[in-house]
Amino acid sequence: MNITLRQLKVFEAVARHSSYTRAAEELHLTQPAVSIQVKSLEESVGLALFEQFGKQIYMTSAGEEILRYARSIAAQVDEISDVVARLKGVSRGSLHLAVATTANYFITHLLAAFHRQFPDVSINLSVTNRQGLLKQLAENSIDMVVMGEPPGERDLAGQAFMDNPLVVIAPPDHPLGTRKRIPLKTIAGERFVVREEDSGTRAAMTRFARRHQIAFTPAMVMTSNEAIKQAVSAGLGLGLVSAHTLELDLYANRLQILDVAHFPIARHWYIVHRQGKRLSPAADAFRDFLVENASTVWPTTGIEQAMK
């Protein structure tokens, strides 16, 4: 069967207008040229697509079927040109991204997947805590940042793309490990190894404590999740971290997640940029990539099971 895109396009216009004349006008063709295209399509499929009664033309049931395909093929052809336009723009570009300390655990996997799709985009990644990210946004020194929930400022635009549950961690042999729904009061009596004041994790911890009218006892402050996990594993206290940091530690049985009432603290990861910033095609493509693919590239099923 030798069907061309042009035949399908002409046929679709005739079907939409129920008229050869109006289709010809729309496509800037002569009426005989339109008839020839429809005729050759009918010859290719070996079925009549229209029938004529007096001056009026009607579509046959074969015509209805072919019309559905003609429309979906036209939509796909449009998509091809969109994608090509984007690829051309993206392939020359660069991406300046800053991420929260905690996002570093998954962002490299997502960047690797993005790089496979757009190998010529040059990527610059910086890692800092929440305050550091807000500063970079304010200075307009970065395309976009990946952070916990952005502050509700009007000049920031953010889109959530993945869950970010915060959990309480303990060494594997901690006596609270066997308890279910441990009351917050019990937890508040424990010593905690916590993140620094400027971190999103610490801010979320403080908000949570205020909402539930408890006070955590910070025994030690550390600026890295790795340091907190090592400290907790060594028995220096409990910790409160994003579950995204824990995959290997749970697997290696170096830490456990405690079953505490009102936990996990439900948060999300956001991709954030300044409102009205003209994103480069590469930055734009990365944002779309993140929103569409984050949960497939970085599946959290292992973590979810450990939280049950």
Tokens for 275, please give them. 């409102």
Binding status of residue 300 toward ligand PGA by CB under 6 A: no
Query: Which one of residues 37, 199, 280, 300 is an interface residue with ligand PGA (CB under 6 A)?
Result: 199
DSSP conformational letter for 236: S
Query: Which one of residues 96, 195, 244, 287 is an interface residue with ligand PGA (CB under 6 A)?
Result: 195
Q: What percent of the chain is helix, strand and coil (3-state, nearest 5)?
A: 50, 20, 30
Q: Are 158 and 272 in contact, with CB atoms under 8 Å apart?
A: yes
Please name which of 30, 294, 42 lies closest in space to residue 163, comparing C-alpha atoms. Answer: 294
| Closest residue to ligand PGA, based on beta-carbon distance | 200
In the complex, minimum distance from the CB of residue 187 to ligand PGA, in angstroms, rounded to a whole number: 19
DSSP string, 56-68: EEEE-HHHHHHHH
Residues 120-149 touching ligand PGA, rule: CB under 6 A, are 129-130, 147-148
261 phi and psi angles, rounded to 5 deg = -55, 145
Query: Which one of residues 19, 37, 136, 201 is an interface residue with ligand PGA (CB under 6 A)?
Result: 201
Query: Which one of residues 63, 150, 200, 264 is an interface residue with ligand PGA (CB under 6 A)?
Result: 200
Of the ranges 98-106, 183-191, 230-238, 254-262, which one interacts with ligand PGA (CB under 6 A)?
98-106
Q: Are 67 and 75 in contact, with CB atoms under 8 Å apart?
A: no
Of the ranges 64-72, 96-104, 209-217, 286-294, which one interacts with ligand PGA (CB under 6 A)?
96-104
Positive or negative: CA dihedral 155, 86, 297, 109: negative
Binding status of residue 101 toward ligand PGA by CB under 6 A: yes
131 phi and psi angles, rounded to 5 deg = -60, -40
Q: Are 234 and 173 in contact, with CB atoms under 8 Å apart?
A: no
In this complex, which beta carbon is closest to ligand PGA, that of residue 70 or of residue 246? 246
Please name which of 279, 180, 148, 260 lies closest in space to residue 212, comparing C-alpha atoms. Answer: 260
In this complex, which beta carbon is closest to ligand PGA, that of residue 37 or of residue 104? 104
Of the ranges 14-22, 49-57, 89-97, 195-203, which one interacts with ligand PGA (CB under 6 A)?
195-203
Q: Which residues of this protein are in contact with ligand PGA, per CB under 6 A? A: 100-102, 129-130, 147-148, 164, 195, 199-201, 242, 267
